[in-house]
Amino acid sequence: MGIDDRGGGGPAVTPPVETGRVLVFRHGQLGDMVVALPAMWVVRQQWPQAQLTLLCDVHPGRKYVLGSEVFRGAGLFDRIEHYEVPEASEGSVRKAARRLSLLVRLRTGGYGTAVYLAPSIRRPEQVSRDVRFFRLAGVRRIYGAGFFPPVPSKQPGQAFCAAGHEADLLLARLAADGLPVPAPGRGSLELGLGAIETAEVDGWLQPLPSDGGRRWLGVGPGSKMPAKRWPLERFGAVMQALIKKHDVWPVVFGGPEDRAAGEQLLAACGRGHNAAGRLGVRACALALRRCALYLGNDTGTMHLAAAAGVPCVGVYSARDWPGAWYPYGVPQQVFRTEIECEGCYLEECVQRQNECLTRITVAQVLAGCESILRGLSIAPTDAHSSSH
């Protein structure tokens, strides 16, 4: 039953019916939100009569895609509540004022139940702190905070162990509190896309040249983390080879910061569309449904492609454990290098210049793309790269 108002964890029995207000806590960027969809749908299906509010973060002054936008119109939440993440330079008084303001808003909201979907790498002391905060906000029952499946830690001289996908780790936490969950890899990524998104995509396409009926190759060459970026020229080489061999129509996806890279790639290819920075998050997901294949780095757009049901070829750094953020529930080929410095969690790799990524070759990624485009049946798998 989750952690009750006495601070204890109840047995894994059927949770009580909720018809009031339920707070669902999840923070992070677009990819973090998309992979939490299976857990969020479990909550909605468990308590269809409850008023669900999503509590998530915003970063003032930063050009992040607001991850919560993916839920607007999805039929999941009745309300979205944001809290501002302070800058590192912000003073302690200002930070305390922000926390107090959020506390007052939550108490006023009258939430008797909270579902805690913080990332799986949350430290025990952080979880305890968050639980205390929700208690002060008047929350009596908390689901998802009493049990965290173990995640791997890098051991010297040993390869980083594979572990569950973040989506399935969140589901396991809800299952421990008595909520029925789907089998690993089978959670719902439904986004409830419809007429609004269709009109936006049609409006974007209207002035563009025809694709001639060709299959779309979705490409996501960017990432806000430099440590996740496979070299741009290698994306270009794969795209040009796929055009030559399979006559695909490349479509570049991403944020406004990826538009220039998209223009460079498409100029070299001599064809394609550049959707980077031109579509909202939900319209982007709808456009991705038109792709026969998506090729990209480990980004939120990759997870949107998986939510759209598109087979994915992913080029992954070794900063995290294998499997944590792979495309969820779709046919895939994932390339990731086993390297002695894996598990670094770096946002920018200065010392080794993204060696884990540069070891992954154009030939490997091209072969992975071709295997999907040729219609082979591919189960979700991890195609590790160990080339030097």
Q: Are residues 154 and 212 in the same domain?
A: no
190 located within any domain: no
Q: Are residues 208 and 254 in the same domain?
A: yes
Which pLDDT tens digit goes with each residue over 32-71? Answer: 999 999 999 999 999 999 999 999 998 876 666 778 899 9
Closest CA to 36 of 78, 67, 2: 67
CA distances from 3 to 18, 72, 238 (A): 15, 29, 50
Q: Are residues 59 and 131 in the same domain?
A: yes
Q: Are residues 156 and 271 in the same domain?
A: no
pLDDT at 302: 97
Radius of gyration (C-alpha) of the chain in whole angstroms? 21
Closest CA to 372 of 215, 236, 234, 232: 215
Say yes or no to pLDDT of 376 above 60: no
Q: Are residues 285 and 361 in the same domain?
A: yes
End residue of a domain, out of 147, 176, 205: 176
What's the average model confidence in pLDDT over 156-182?
Answer: 90
Residue 158 · residue 207 · CB < 8 Å: no
d(CA 21, CA 78): 10
Three-state secondary-structure class, residue 325:
coil
Say yes or no to pLDDT of 201 above 60: yes
Q: Are residues 172 and 205 in the same domain?
A: no
pLDDT at 383: 45
Closest CA to 26 of 11, 38, 10: 38
d(CA 58, CA 87): 11
Kindly provide the b/e burial profile for residues 32-51, where b requires at least 16 CB atoms within 10 angstroms of the residue's own CB: bbbbbbbbbbbbbebbeebb
pLDDT at 13: 58
Token pair recorded at residue 336:
């990731």
**What range does the domain containing 361 cover?**
196-373
The enclosing domain of 31 has a CATH number of 3.40.50.2000
Residue 269 · residue 236 · CB < 8 Å: yes
Count Cβ atoms within 10 A of the Cβ of residue 325 and give its class: 0-12 exposed, 13-18 middle, 19 or more buried: buried
Which pLDDT tens digit goes with each residue over 59-114? Answer: 876 666 778 899 988 999 999 999 988 776 777 888 888 899 999 999 999 999 99
Closest CA to 55 of 98, 100, 106, 96: 106
What's the average model confidence in pLDDT over 334-351?
Answer: 91
Which pLDDT tens digit goes with each residue over 210-243? Answer: 999 999 999 999 999 999 999 999 999 999 999 9
d(CA 316, CA 383): 11
d(CA 150, CA 143): 17
Give backbone dihedrals phi and psi of 150, rounded to 5 degrees, phi first.
Answer: -65, 140
Q: Are residues 153 and 223 in the same domain?
A: no
pLDDT at 159: 77
Q: Are residues 171 and 235 in the same domain?
A: no
284 located within any domain: yes
270 located within any domain: yes
pLDDT band per the 50, 70, 90 thresholds, residue 179: very high
pLDDT at 153: 78
186 located within any domain: no
Say yes or no to pLDDT of 6 above 80: no
Which pLDDT tens digit goes with each residue over 259-281? Answer: 999 999 999 999 999 999 999 99
Handedness of CA 302, 307, 308, 314 (dihedral sign): positive
Say yes or no to pLDDT of 158 above 90: no
Closest CA to 382 of 321, 318, 323, 308: 323
56 located within any domain: yes
Mean pLDDT of the chain: 90
253 located within any domain: yes
Say yes or no to pLDDT of 7 above 60: no
- Predicted TM-score (pTM) of the model is 0.90
75 located within any domain: yes
Q: Are residues 237 and 312 in the same domain?
A: yes
Measured in residues, the chain has a length of 388
Domain count, the chain: 2
Q: Are residues 40 and 133 in the same domain?
A: yes
4 located within any domain: no
Q: What is the DSSP string of 54-70?
A: EEEEE-TTS----GGGG
Say yes or no to pLDDT of 246 above 50: yes
Q: In what order do the strands lie in the sheet with 249-252?
A: 273-274, 249-252, 216-220, 291-297, 312-316, 332-336
Q: Are residues 102 and 168 in the same domain?
A: yes
